[in-house]
Amino acid sequence: MTPVIALVLLAGLSEATGRVLPPFSRRPGMSRPLVAGLLLVGALIEATVIALWPLTAWALAEVIHPAARSDTSGLVWTPGLIAPLVLGAILAFPWLGPLLHFLLLVAVGAGLAGALAEASGMGWGIAAGCVTAAGVGLALAVDLVRRLVAAVLASGAREAIA
Q: Is 154 helix (H, G, I), strand (E, B) or coil?
A: helix
Could you read off the pLDDT of 100-135 as tens digits, one per residue? 778 888 989 999 999 999 888 889 999 999 999 999
Could you read off the pLDDT of 24-83 as tens digits, one per residue? 766 777 777 877 888 888 889 989 999 999 999 999 988 887 765 555 667 888 888 888
DSSP type of residue 26: T
Distance of CA 43 to the CA centre of its chain: 10
CB-based contacts of 109, cutoff 8 Å, min separation 6: 128, 131, 132, 135
On whether the pTM is more than 0.75, the answer is: yes
